[in-house]
Amino acid sequence: MSTTIEHDGLFIDGSWVASDGAQRIEVVNPSTEQRLGSVSAASTADVDRAVAAARKAFVEWSAKNADERAELLNRLADALEKRGAEIAHTVSSQNGMPIVVSTGLEAGFPPLLLRYYAGLVSDQPSVTRRAGLFGGEIDVVRKPMGVVGVIVPWNFPQTLAMTKIAPALAAGNTAVVKPSPETVLDAILLGEAIAEAELPPGVINIVPGDRAIGAHIVSHPGVDRVAFTGSTATGRSIAEACGKLLRPVSLGLGGKSATIVLDDADVAGSMEEFFKATLLNNGQTCFLGTRVLAPRGRYGEIVDILAGLAHVATIGDAVDESTMIGPMVSARHRERVEGYIERGKTEGCRLIAGGTRPDREGWFVAPTIFADVANDSVIAREEIFGPVLAVIAYDDVDDAVAIANDSPYGLGGTVWSQDRDRARAVAQRVETGTVGINGYDLDPAAPFGGVKDSGIGREWGPEALDSYVELQSIYL
């Protein structure tokens, strides 16, 4: 018999507290449709308390030297590592992420990010002196911004939160974090790790809530900077609010990236990498190359390979080690994905695999491949966020690059070729924030983010640390 989790869910000023409102957020397992538990939903008054706690903690936290902060971040990394297996299991149970993916990314990345930024900030002087052009000297001082409002989606809840928390805290800021309602239970484990690491109360506060709570954080007078990942539509409304307030904001948004298969690519020999770059996390991943661009001379062969991939991908409960394709996060999201599949059929695209609901409980969609897709069709332009690929034919490399760039989005993508230099030259012509060669291996040492409708700003790398500081010049 499985037990459910009923928790206060709000972590404010170093303690678990219940909301002052009566509402609760219910979480259901998308693989089984069974209830997992609930936490109390934060009210706007709870957010006010969390922001006040973060403001109070900022005084002491920002006054610590970098090594003291780094030590505490490393302790938090240790506490998260201890909980790695539980974190991976909890994430997969809530959002359908195959456990092999959550173990590698959701459990693996957050401690890595904490240690990385702890190391970077320890090596970085907070003041650098430089010679001025008029003979004088100038001190350039790096200062934390204050309280950072962190708002994240459900698809990589731990990694996306820590992507913001780690550089923000390393730079001396404090944080108010709002998880997505679909994934509030793994946030409990983050709170427990924060308590075990003995971070000073109020340095990280967690307020689970809906979009109204997110909007309250974004325009809160006590918040100095906003870090958001989510859909482009939400990103636009947050950008609008921050624009009015002149509040610094970073936005990691949607994508519809291209997988460019060059005529010499060894696709059949790279199936595992190809699967990860196009269908990772059941298609519920922002950077996937869901438009597969195939040269006309090899079109039939590539379509056949993809159909084979769709047929062999094991569909199953997300917590099962053998699962390659888990469920959609919710019944509503499955309907949305199925709506796009119907749209593809009516747009004259050729369905060569999937397009159906597997006959089992849970909110599953079979991996679906459409061939003969025009780049101006809806299924090639809009983000579906499910296991649905569109195969588009191209004439030559210029045509492939033109199709890849003919998108409202600009987040990721891949280029496949047996000649790495040739692939690299093509990659540089692609208008996106990141491109992988013969695979898509994310690395937190490199800046990650998008152009066009995929967002503003970069996360990861030393560049992210810079995005959480203000620079002050003192003319000596």
Per CB under 6 A, 286 contacts ligand NAD: yes
**Distance, CA of 18 to CA of 108 (rounded, Å):** 30
Binding window for ligand NAD (CB under 6 A); candidates: 70-78, 208-216, 357-365, 415-423: 208-216
- CB contact at 8 A, 112 and 186: no
Residue with smaller CB distance to ligand NAD, 211 or 343: 211
Q: Which is nearer to ligand NAD, 54 or 464 (CB)?
A: 464
Binding ligand NAD (rule: CB under 6 A), the pick from 385, 394, 440, 460 is 385
For tokens 């950077």, what's the residue? Answer: 287
Nearby residues of 7 by Cβ (< 8 Å), 6 or more positions away: 16, 37, 38, 39, 40, 185, 188
Of residues 257 and 368, the one with the C-beta less far from ligand NAD: 257
Residue 457 is a binding residue for ligand NAD (CB under 6 A): no
Interface with ligand NAD in residues 409-448 (CB under 6 A): 411
| Least gap, CB of 472 to ligand NAD (angstroms) | 30
Q: Smallest Cα–Cα separation from 31: which of 101, 100, 83, 91?
A: 91
CB atoms within 10 A of CB 132: 11
**Min. distance of Cβ 233 from ligand NAD in angstroms?**
7
Under the binding rule (CB under 6 A), the answer on residue 149 touching ligand NAD is: no
The only residue of 191, 230, 413, 444 in contact with ligand NAD, by rule CB under 6 A: 230
144 versus 208: smaller Cβ distance to ligand NAD? 208
Token output for 48:
């006010």
Our CB check for ligand NAD shows the closer of 253 and 318 to be: 253
Sign of the CA dihedral with 371 first, then 285, 378, and 327 last = positive
Question: Could you tell me which of 399, 387, 337 has the C-alpha nearest to residue 98?
Answer: 387
Q: What does residue 416 show for φ and ψ, rounded to 5 degrees?
A: -120, 125
180 binds ligand NAD (CB under 6 A): yes
Using the rule CB under 6 A, is 289 a contact of ligand NAD? Answer: no
Using CB under 6 A, pick the residue from 110, 167, 254, 387 that binds ligand NAD. 254
Note whether 331 binds ligand NAD by CB under 6 A. Answer: no
Residue nearest ligand NAD by beta-carbon distance: 214
**From the CB of 15, what's the least distance to ligand NAD, in Å?**
23
Should residue 90 be labelled a site residue for ligand NAD when binding is judged by CB under 6 A? no
Question: Kind and range of the H or E element at 129?
Answer: strand 127-131
Using the rule CB under 6 A, is 153 a contact of ligand NAD? yes
Q: Which is nearer to ligand NAD, 61 or 156 (CB)?
A: 156
Q: How many residues bind ligand NAD (CB under 6 A)?
A: 31
Whole-angstrom distance, CA of residue 243 vs CA of residue 405: 28
Q: Which two tokens stand for residue 456?
A: 């503003």
Query: From CA 51, how far away is CA 148, in angstroms rounded?
Result: 9
**Residue 219 to residue 18: CA distance in whole angstroms:** 23
Q: Please, which residue, 113 or 303, has the CB nearer to ligand NAD?
A: 113
Q: Which of 155, 158, 259, 323 binds ligand NAD (CB under 6 A)?
A: 155
Query: Which letter, b or e, does each residue of 269-306 get, where b requires 16 or more Cβ atoms within 10 Å of its Cβ?
Result: eeeebbbbbbbbbbbbbbbbbbbbbbbeebbeebbebb
- How near is the Cβ of 86 to ligand NAD at its closest, in Å? 22
The torsion angle over the Cα atoms of residues 228, 233, 236 and 238, rounded to 10 degrees, is -50
- Least gap, CB of 2 to ligand NAD (angstroms): 25
User: Would you count residue 154 as binding ligand NAD (CB under 6 A)?
Assistant: yes
Compare residues 211 and 429 and give the one whose CB is closer to ligand NAD. Answer: 211
Residue 218 within binding range of ligand NAD, rule CB under 6 A:
yes
Our finding on whether 215 is near ligand NAD (CB under 6 A) is: yes
Handedness of CA 12, 18, 24, 25 (dihedral sign): positive
- Residue 159 near ligand NAD by CB under 6 A: no
Instruction: List CB contacts of 401: < 8 A, sequence separation 6 or more.
Output: 260, 426, 429, 430
The answer to the question of residue 173 lying near ligand NAD (CB under 6 A) is: no
Q: Are the beta carbons of 247 and 168 closer than 8 angstroms?
A: no
* b/e sequence 223-250, b meaning 16+ C-beta within 10 Å: bbbbbbbbebebbeebbeebeeeebbbb
Please report whether residue 234 would count as binding ligand NAD according to CB under 6 A: yes
Contacting positions for ligand NAD (CB under 6 A): 151-156, 160, 178, 180, 210-211, 214-215, 218, 229-231, 234, 237-238, 252-255, 286, 383, 385, 411, 450, 454-455
